[in-house]
């Protein structure tokens, strides 16, 4: 009710948390009309000219984020009225368009993009597609591809790409990704014959620093992996394009629209299909604005190792190379080669004794405790294998390079839990990040 959204200086999150209970209980479909009424309550109209000012108040703004979350989650709960009732997308559309003038340039501007994206999600339903298509054209007309308030344009263009791309000409959005990339990533720099950087805002010294870091990493990689600089068969990813956004907010705004990736992360390497001669391997990144004035492209060397690993170690595309549990290697190697022997947080994580080495060998991308297991424990597993069982590393990588992932699994099952106790002993030998002299191991 009205009281829930009253300004609450004691706890500005109350409305948001109460509304999230709907989603926690998987009851979004039961509350669609209530959510629609809240959207309409905070939409500027002739009868409600102050709605944009009201929605900027913190209690209300946070509550509206939960309203949009409930709409987002509802699509996964079965279709019901969602797929046939055009009034939900219409309400969300009106919120975005009517509140645009009052919210652009304010701390609550992100609500416009949220509402626009949720209105456009209804473009997937055939029964109301023509209604939502008209709203998509309205969003495209109400804002531009770049400039203030362009979240409306981006939301519509992404939805057309995802749900109605065959008709993109009727919206004027065909191949918008290339135009958008050219408009946003305006600074280009060629490091070498294998690396090109496109950025939103980097200086020549910053480009040179990034190139130097990757160049050093490349030499170290080939030395550590004994590659002889020979790529795996059928790999045409001769060059890497590094796209660098100015900060996380710009990454979140543009990377999904341009590259179609999930942006809830620290950057992403997209290998594509390496067998396709026209494929472009790409690392989509952002500057770690929180470290300024120091200039750091977040996860740069980690992701560059992914490119090198994909080209020189792992046969096939990402789907093939992760068809068996190889994540301990993929993420662990990127951590190990980028951080080398300087990773005290990983040592501290491993010293909890939470996992055995054989458990880490089973790492996947959809496991619980992913960040801890893939990065900290993956680092320790790969480092242990390099330091203590280099022969096994060479055998495993030999299997990867031939695309023999079944043989790799058979080899790993032969190792089984044989190294669990030595791994635990090795972890126990660390003191402040420096390995002590190893005690003799029992056979």
Q: Which residues are catalytic?
A: 303
* Pairing of the two strands 240-245 and 195-199: parallel
- Single out the residue of 117, 25, 131, 136 nearest to residue 72, CA to CA: 117
Instruction: Report the phi/psi class of residue 442: left, alpha or beta, with left for phi > 0 and alpha for psi in -120 to 50.
Output: beta
> Which DSSP string corresponds to 11-49?
-TTHHHHHHHHHHHTT-GGGGHHHHHHHHHHTS-BTTBT
Instruction: Determine how β-strand 434-435 pairs with β-strand 195-199.
Output: unpaired
Six token digits for residue 118: 């949720």
- Nearest-angstrom CA–CA distance, 39 and 64: 8
How are strands ordered across the β-sheet holding 195-199?
187-190, 195-199, 240-245, 281-286, 268-270
Task: Return the residue matching tokens 């009253």.
Answer: 6
As given in the structure block, the two tokens for residue 406 are 């079944």
* Closest among 318, 239, 240, 327 to 272, alpha carbons compared: 318
User: Rounded to 5 degrees, what are φ and ψ at 241?
Assistant: -100, 125
Q: 250 to each of 65, 190, 201, how far by Cα in Å?
A: 19, 22, 11
**Cα separation of 141 and 50, whole Å?**
24
Q: What is the 3-state secondary structure (H, E, C) of 182-228?
A: HHHCCEEEECCCCEEEEECCCCHHHHHHHHHHHHHHHHHHHHHHCCC
């Amino acid at each position: 009710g009205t009281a829930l959204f009253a300004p609450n200086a004691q706890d500005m999150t109350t409305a948001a948390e109460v509304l999230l209970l709907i989603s926690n209980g998987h009851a979004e479909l039961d509350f669609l009309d209530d959510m629609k009424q809240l959207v309409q309550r905070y939409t500027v109209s002739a009868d409600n000219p102050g709605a944009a000012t009201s929605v900027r108040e913190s209690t209300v703004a946070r509550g509206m984020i939960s309203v949009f979350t409930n709409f987002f989650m509802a699509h996964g709960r079965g279709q019901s009225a969602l797929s046939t009732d055009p009034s939900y997308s219409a309400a969300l559309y009106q919120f975005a368009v009517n509140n645009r003038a009052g919210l652009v340039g304010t701390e609550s501007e992100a609500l416009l993009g949220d509402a626009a994206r949720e209105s456009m999600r209804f473009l997937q339903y055939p029964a109301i597609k023509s209604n939502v298509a008209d709203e998509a054209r309205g969003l495209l007309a109400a804002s531009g591809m770049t400039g203030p308030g362009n979240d409306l344009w981006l939301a519509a263009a992404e939805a057309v790409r995802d749900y109605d791309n065959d008709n993109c000409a009727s919206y004027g959005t065909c191949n918008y990704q290339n135009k958008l990339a050219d408009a946003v990533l305006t600074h280009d720099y060629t490091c070498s014959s294998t690396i090109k950087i496109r950025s939103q805002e980097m200086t020549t010294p910053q480009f040179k620093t990034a190139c130097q870091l990757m160049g050093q990493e490349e030499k170290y990689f080939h030395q550590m992996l004994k590659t002889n600089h020979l790529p795996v068969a059928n790999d045409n990813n001769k060059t890497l394009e590094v796209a660098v956004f100015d900060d996380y907010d710009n990454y979140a705004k543009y990377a999904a629209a341009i590259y179609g990736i999930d942006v809830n992360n620290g950057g992403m390497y997209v290998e594509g299909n390496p067998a396709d001669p026209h494929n472009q391997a790409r690392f989509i990144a952002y500057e770690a604005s929180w470290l300024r004035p120091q200039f750091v492209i977040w996860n740069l060397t980690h992701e560059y190792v992914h490119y090198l690993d994909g080209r020189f170690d792992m046969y096939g595309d990402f789907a093939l190379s992760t068809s068996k549990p190889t994540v301990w290697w993929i993420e662990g190697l990127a951590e190990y080669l980028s951080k080398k022997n300087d990773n005290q947080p990983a040592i501290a994580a491993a010293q909890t004794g939470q996992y055995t080495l054989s458990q880490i060998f089973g790492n996947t991308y959809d496991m619980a405790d992913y960040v801890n297991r893939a990065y900290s424990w993956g680092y320790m597993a790969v480092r242990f294998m390099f330091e203590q069982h280099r022969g096994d590393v060479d055998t495993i990588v030999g299997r990867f390079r031939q695309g023999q992932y079944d043989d790799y699994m058979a080899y790993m099952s032969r190792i089984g839990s044989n190294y669990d106790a030595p791994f635990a002993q090795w972890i126990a030998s660390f003191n402040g990040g420096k390995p002590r002299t190893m005690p003799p191991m029992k056979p």
